[in-house]
Each structure stands twice: as C-alpha cells, then as structure tokens.
Amino acid sequence: MKVSAALSKSPIEKISLDNHSIYIKRDDLLNPHFSGNKARKFAYYLEHNSTSITKLVSYGSIQANSLYSLAALAHLKGWQLDYYVSRIPDWLKDSTLGNYGQALALGAKIIVVDSSLLTDSNNLDGYMHQYAETLPETSLFIPEGGRSCHASLGVYTLAKEIADYCNTHKLFEKDTFAKTNQAQVMLPSGTGTTALFLQTWFKENNQPIKVLTCACVGDDVYLKKQFNQLNPDQTQWPTIISSRKKFHFGQLNKNHYLLWQHLLKETGIEFDLLYDPIGWHCLLDYLSNNYASNNNSTIPTFYIHQGGLVGNQTMLPRYQRKYPELF
Ligand SMILES: *Cc1c(COP(=O)(O)O)cnc(C)c1O
C-alpha cells in the first residue's frame, strides 16, 4: 500500500437545509480507514518517515474516534498501537463494532490502567504524561485526541483547501478583501485543536474567513484554555458560539438523535452522533439569530464533516434500545 497517497483533497458539496444554503467539507471521505479530523491531525505522523519507530502509545476514552484513527495509522505504518484507557464498560467488552471493535480488528492493544494508580489529582492524562517520559526511543507518544503542535500540518492543509475553494469559486468580493469576514466555517470542538489551527492559518494568510465553533466536551472556559495552550494570541482564536440547549457529552439525547435523523433525511449525508448534533444545533441557532431576523444575507457558510462514523456503529444500537419508538 502506498501510504503517501492516503490523503488527497476531500470534496465540498453544497446542500440546502431549513432554508439555509451550506457548503459541506466532506472530510469523512478522505480515506476509508483514515478520515475526518483525526486523519488531518495525525497526517504529520503519516508523512514523516520515522524509521526507528516501532510502537505508537496513546490513551483516552475507549469509545473515542481517535482510537480507531490511531489504529489505522499504526496499521498503515506497520507499527504496534498500545492504547491506555481507565475502563471498558461491560456492554462494550464483546463488541466487534465501533471504534473499539474496529481498532481491535486492526491489531490495536488496549491496556486498562490499574485504578489504584489513578487519583483525582493524577488522572489518566497526568499518569500518561509521566509514563511517556519512561518510554524508549522506538515508541512514539501521542497525547489524547492528538492535541499537539504537530496537528497543525494536516489542519493547515485543510484550511488551504477551503481557502482555495473560496478563491476559485469567487466567493469573496474583491474590493473589501481582508477587511471583513467574507465566509465562515463551522466545526464542533472537542479539544479545539482543529478549530484553532484553522483560524490561525486563515489569519496568517490573510484569508477573510471566520471560524465558528462550539464546546462539546467541556464548557467555553475549558475550550479557551485549550486554545491558549496552543496559541496565546487571542486574535487568532475561533469564535465560540453556544446553543440554548443543555446537554452532557456522550450521553444519549433525544433531540440530538432527532436532529441527526433530520440531517440524514434532508441532505442524504450521515453525520457523527457525538459532536455533529451539537455543532448543527449551534450553527442553525446562530444562522437564524444573526441573519434571518434582520434580513442580512448570509455570507457563504461551510460546515466541516469531521468523520467519526465508525462510532455510530455503537451509538445507533444504544439509541435504538433507549428510544425504540424513534426507529
Ligand atoms: C475528534 C473529533 C472532534 C473534535 O476535534 P478537536 O480537534 O479535538 O476539537 C469533532 N468531531 C469529530 C467527528 C471528531 O472525531
């Protein structure tokens, strides 16, 4: 398999949803096994030849999209993946589906950290950073969710693809170049790494594109802390938009499922069930609040499909068990 050919440009499709016209950046179609924003964030490791590496070490949630993407990366590179978790829920243990099941099928080794080693003050993140110090040179350590400066390489490529599209399709008005934002890009955030590096690239390259995002995992304060760790220059931060609806990340939510189903029906595109319902709630609220009410015409709006569809294999049966009436 030719590894360098794995990531080519992803397509952009124009869809119409609830009277809004939106461009979807289909990063879910980058590559069958290595797709979405994890593929962008891990592209650096795919492209750089590190011949001495034999093992990839990472950690996080057992259901994380990054688990599957890291397993795919390790598989493409011929490395072993050791992935550390704090627990595996009983219902998932025998599953061959989803990020966990599919990562096992790609040869990933899942290691449950002894709970006596984890405390409130030294959680999995803290424990793994200490452990990383003891790893031999042949092991490559990737922090949870790919939150690292190396993520910029692949995310900058994504930013450039969007800017190129705007320029070749003449979406910017010439005379007001770079003075006001002329397009906006929405994507839901976990660690915020993807959104931050996108906005950084647009700013540094004078592209009049505003990045909109929302906090899915923690609150807005957590998200700003993450931005600050990666880039202290606040003028290069994305704009955080919020939803009026409250939710808990990872928990089943009837409104999320209904919106997911609506998106599938209206656009024919399957989105992720964890981040995308939150992202779309926020974006649709934002568009109606900022444009429809005061008759402003919307500037071109992009939504990035960041993959994560393997996770739906375990999310959908859970929804079906909890809300059989919706199926
Ligand atoms: C990981 C992931 C995110 C969050 O990405 P961050 O760079 O951590 O903000 C969003 N959507 C999907 C589908 C993901 O897999």
Cβ–ligand 1 distance for 277 under 6 Å, the answer no
Cβ–ligand 1 distance for 191 under 6 Å, the answer yes
For a mutational test of ligand 1's pocket, the pick from 29, 44, 65, 144, i.e. the residue with the most ligand atoms closer than 8 A to its C-beta, is 65
Containing 129, the helix (H) or strand (E) segment is helix 124-133
For 12-38+149-326, which CATH class?
A: alpha beta
Q: Which CATH number fits domain 51-146: 3.40.50.1100, 3.30.565.10, 3.90.1150.10, 3.30.465.10?
A: 3.40.50.1100
pTM for the whole structure: 0.94
Complete DSSP assignment for 165-213: HHHHTT-S-STTTTTS--EEEEEEESSSHHHHHHHHHHHHTT--EEEEE
Which residue has its alpha carbon closest to ligand 1 atom 12?
A: 306
| Residue-range domain boundaries for the chain | 12-38+149-326, 51-146
pLDDT band at 185 (very low <50, low <70, confident <90, very high): very high
User: Which is the closest atom of ligand 1 to the Cα of 41?
Assistant: 7
Residue 6: the pLDDT is 56
pLDDT band at 178 (very low <50, low <70, confident <90, very high): low
Residue 147: the pLDDT is 85
Cβ–ligand 1 distance for 243 under 6 Å, the answer no
Sequence-ordered list of residues with C-beta below 8 angstroms from that of 260, at least 6 positions apart, any chain: 271, 273, 276, 277
Q: What is the pLDDT of residues 226-277, one digit of tens each?
A: 999 999 999 999 999 987 778 889 899 999 999 999 999 999 999 999 999 9
Phi/psi at 162 (nearest 5 deg)? Answer: -70, -45
Complete DSSP assignment for 258-304: HHHHHHHHHHS-PPPSSSHHHHHHHHHHHHIIIIITTTPPPPPEEEE
Decide if pLDDT at 1 tops 70.
no
Decide if pLDDT at 145 tops 90.
no
For a mutational test of ligand 1's pocket, the pick from 40, 61, 99, 194, i.e. the residue with the most ligand atoms closer than 8 A to its C-beta, is 194
Tell me if 12-38+149-326 shares its fold with 51-146: yes
User: For residue 164, which amino acid is it?
Assistant: D
Q: Using the 8-state DSSP alphabet, how is residue 145 labeled?
A: G
